[in-house]
Copies of this chain bind each other. A is one copy, B any other.
Amino acid sequence: MTHPTINRLQEVVAKGDDSQIADLLAEDVQFLPPTYWKTWTGRAPVAAILGHVGQVFSDFRYRRIMGNGNDWALEFQCKIGEFDAVGVDLITLNSHDLISHFEVVMRPYKSVGVLRAAIMERVTTDPRFLQYQKALS
């Protein structure tokens, strides 16, 4: 009933392993983060961002997986430092069963603020993002 790419995503996303995540992403994947109103485009930068996110989240667990075909909503819970959070990965697959659109919505406000600061610190100290900055629009 669910989709092989969605099953695989559940296995790898919480590990924060860039290379395993990259295999599931379309070359022109778009990632829309919970933290700001911008879009990351491209497999390498999106895998890198998702890798950092996976390392900031702890006690990560997917809950309900809803959707069908190319449209999926993956409900999750996690901790960000000492703060609880709940979110949804909004996924669109392309005709090659790769993720073409990955949008993340979360609650509550305070936890997302902590995530925002943690990701900002990681991205500004990850030398790959000197190159990847142009993938952000």
Residues of A within 8 A of B (CB): 32-37, 64, 66-68, 71-73, 75, 83-84, 86-88, 90, 103-113, 116
Contact = CB atoms under 8 A, between A and B. Distances in A.
B71 A108 contact: no
A6 to B, nearest CB: 12
* Number of identical protomers: 2
Nearest to A87: B105
Contacts of A111: 37
Nearest to A73: B73
Given A73-B75, A88-B73, A108 B67 contact: no
A109 B107 contact: no
Contacts of A71: 64, 66
A107 B73 CA distance: 15
Given A66-B67, A84-B37, A107 B32 contact: yes
A97 to B, nearest CB: 18
A135 to B, nearest CB: 18
